[in-house]
Structure 1
Amino acid sequence: MFAIKAVSYTDPGAPALFARSLHETGFAVLKDHPIAPERIDRAYAEWGGFFADEGKFGFKVKPPSPEGYFPFRSENAKGATAKDLKEFFQVYPATALPGAVEETTRALYDDLTDLGITLLEWIQANTPPEVAKTFAEPLPDMLRGSQNSMFRILHYPSQAGEPPEPGATRAAAHEDINLITLLLAGSAPGLQAQDRTGAWHEVPCDPGMIAVNIGDMLQLASGGYYPSTTHRVVNPAVGDGGARFSMPMFMHPRSEVALSPEKTAGAYLQERLREIGLA
């Protein structure tokens, strides 16, 4: 049975419950987490103003840099031909930010980094020894000193009718690249995860929750013990086509970290970015 567990951060048994859900489904949902809800609400409001303003184009990404604003329909899922129906802004530690969002965004980046390290400590402590011994170094240590973790602010514009091309969705079925992703509750539903039979399930993520999922890097490093589960963001139902915002934090190790004898994190990241049209 595909059952994504909702785990209270304050529960003494949270680390084991959290790691078990990730092993069984690739997802877990965290509630009662330590990030202030007011900070999250403020970030959504500030970034809503950014995406509504033409000044956003002044922050447009300048390849090969991965930082900044990506206009509508910039990215496609691996293997997909249609571009996703979204625009977004990618934030790294040294990214230049619009003044109106800078203070809140940098504080939220730091909050999510600290929480991500804690969650990797939980995973490390609850990974079977025969799996953990294959890690090049403990999972939290892979993240310490990394400048590669990326905070992405996503805007899925309102949809009044049919998508602009057949098969286009807000986010086509895909897997994440990184170790783990921390996804602050979106402003509207739509996130779904796929089980091993191919069936889709809504991911619970009410206000105040954070959905956490495994990325391909941790799947590789764990020899598949932690699955990188396919997920998507579906188009809204007809008549309910309002905009949607979400804010995932992609926790990436240092580039030199070995995920397997054949691949470092840096090499693997570049390989995957090429596949989704961002490198």
Structure 2
Amino acid sequence: MPDDTAAGPPAGTRRAVSARDALAARLRSTGSVFAEEEADLLLAAAPDPGAREALVVRRMAGEPLEQVLGWVEFCGLRLAVAPGVFVPRQRTAALVDRATGLVRDAGHDALLLDLCCGVGAIAAAVAARVPGLRVLAADVDPAATGCAARNLAGADARVLTGDLFAPLPVADRGRVAVLTANVPYVPTAAIGLMPPEARDHEARAALDGGADGLDAARRVLTGAADWLAPGGTVLVEVAEAQGPAALAAARAAGLEPRLERDDDRETTVLLAQRPSG
């Protein structure tokens, strides 16, 4: 009697494996480092071959996988993203960790302000860890704030569109316990050196930080003291080499700063506190 186990997997399984392998090979041909993983995600996202091919074509053209899928995993959450918006980086979890601790220390009525919020990744992650937290989030890009509104739909959050502090409700001036800002901090001259996924498919305003990369950070720090409660803290992600200039900018704004380095995530966070007195 023939041994059925020697005949290999059923035909349907062979077809599925073949489809995955073929898709992975196509993705690998355009430079994908994680072709098999991407193939699995694309197959799950669009079982229909026609819809799937549309996604594959976008990915092979260089569009970030997260924009193609319409979501990104960040701090245990699945967050909506859209074409053209800034895709949250996993290293920013370091800022989330620090902001969460500060919010908890601030007490039950703490207010978190997330500027340059993009799709609301920081605000959503902190709010998920601190139930009942009140959140304000703002960004200049309406496509990004549209995603942020979806990602913060279950939180006590208000998402606003405008330039930094401009759209914020005046009633909250001086009441912010923690201000987070994942500002653009790539120097203008370095934009051309970025991976094409970011350079060609994310909003320039979400990347370009000016001549030394700190233009937006300085604007946030300058305005922070007016919006922070006494003892409140602003947190800004910066490049390690920008640390000394970021410290100087915070001191010039009347804040008491320090830098924290997360070597595991290769991230530097500037924390600057408004004096309590």
Q: Shared fold by TM > 0.5?
A: no
Higher relative contact order (CA 8 A, sep 6+): 1
TM-score interval for Structure 1 and Structure 2 normalised by the shorter chain = under 0.3
| More helix as a share of residues | 2
Over alpha carbons, which structure has the higher Rg?
2
TM-score of the pair, normalised by structure 1: 0.26
TM-score of the pair, normalised by structure 2: 0.26
